[in-house]
């Protein structure tokens, strides 16, 4: 009996420490100050992402998706804001960047996933150092030519129907809709767990209008199921 009480006490102590750490990490991320746009406008998003991850690591902040997403928006708002709701980060675009661009099969700058956490590879650390130098000396940057892959924005709020149909979530909905979780839905919508529900509702309504305007009723059903999962209209 006494041993069980000790175990319970230890568990509660660890749990309280975790909550305290979370508050500390949140405050550290929120305290980040933005760079001037001229300092980063010619640096590609992938480099800004690995620099941000390296910065968080130096501050001993875990490389969790939400911390990285908010930190990118705080440091480089012009590159990582939503198109319409500029006061919020575009987490859908950021998640694609982390999952598809930095992984070992692409740039090999980081390993991990958005459901757990990330870690930086040795190559990623070198790129982070180079990016820090470019941020300090913007005159050394080369102007970015408007190449398709670097300037294309994920316009999930404005809507191109093809982006909805090509999304991983839509494909999963077609095959295994019962396995879709809330985290995947929020990531697809480009919002976070603490985003106000009225903002999420507006995004869903806008996406539904896009699907209706293109007469794609399968996509309409997809958006309706997403809304239902979040207890929205």
Q: Does residue 226 or residue 10 have the better pLDDT?
A: 226
3-state DSSP call for residue 181?
A: coil
Task: Tell me the average pLDDT across 157-176.
Answer: 78
- Which helix (H) or strand (E) segment holds residue 118: the answer is strand 118-120
Given a contact cutoff of 8 angstroms between Cβ atoms, the answer to whether 73 and 192 are in contact is no
Lowest mean pLDDT across 31-40, 112-121, 205-214? 205-214
Q: What phi and psi, each to the nearest 5 degrees, are found at residue 6?
A: -65, -40
Given a contact cutoff of 8 angstroms between Cβ atoms, the answer to whether 53 and 93 are in contact is no
Closest to 197 in 3D by CA, of 229, 231, 223: 231
What whole-number distance in Å separates Cα of residue 112 and Cα of residue 120? 9
The mean of the pLDDT values for the chain is: 80
Closest to 146 in 3D by CA, of 220, 35, 44: 44
Give 5-52 as a DSSP string. HHHHHHHHHHHHHHHHHHHHHHHHHHTPPPPPHHHHTTS-HHHHHHHH
Give the rounded distance of the alpha carbon of 230 from its chain centre. Answer: 19
Given a contact cutoff of 8 angstroms between Cβ atoms, the answer to whether 170 and 164 are in contact is yes
Determine the pLDDT at residue 59.
Answer: 94
Residue with tokens 């230890």: 10
pLDDT in tens, 127-158: 899 899 889 888 766 654 444 444 444 444 34
The yes-or-no verdict on residue 4 having pLDDT over 70 is no
Determine the pLDDT at residue 215.
Answer: 83
Closest to 154 in 3D by CA, of 210, 83, 219, 78: 83
The yes-or-no verdict on residue 54 having pLDDT over 70 is yes
């Amino acid at each position: 009996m006494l041993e069980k009480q000790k175990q319970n006490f230890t568990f509660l102590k660890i749990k309280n420490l975790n909550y305290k750490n979370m508050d500390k990490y949140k405050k550290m991320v929120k305290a980040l100050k933005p760079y001037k746009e001229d300092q980063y406008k010619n640096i590609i998003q992938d480099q800004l992402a690995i620099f941000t991850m390296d910065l968080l690591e130096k501050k001993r902040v875990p490389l969790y998706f939400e911390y990285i997403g908010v930190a990118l928006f705080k440091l480089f708002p012009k590159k990582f804001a939503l198109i319409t709701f500029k006061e919020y980060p575009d987490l859908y675009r950021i998640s694609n960047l982390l999952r598809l661009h930095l992984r070992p099969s692409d740039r090999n700058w980081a390993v991990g996933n958005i459901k757990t956490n990330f870690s930086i590879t040795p190559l990623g650390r070198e790129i982070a150092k180079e990016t820090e130098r470019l941020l300090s000396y913007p005159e050394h940057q080369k102007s970015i030519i408007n190449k398709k892959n670097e300037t294309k924005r994920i316009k999930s709020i404005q809507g191109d129907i093809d982006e909805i149909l090509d999304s991983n979530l839509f494909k999963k909905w077609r095959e295994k809709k019962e396995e879709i979780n809330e985290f995947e839905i929020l990531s697809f919508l480009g919002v976070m767990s603490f985003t106000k529900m009225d903002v999420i509702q507006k995004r869903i309504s806008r996406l539904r209008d896009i699907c209706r305007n293109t007469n794609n009723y399968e996509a309409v059903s997809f958006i309706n199921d997403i809304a239902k999962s979040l207890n929205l209209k």
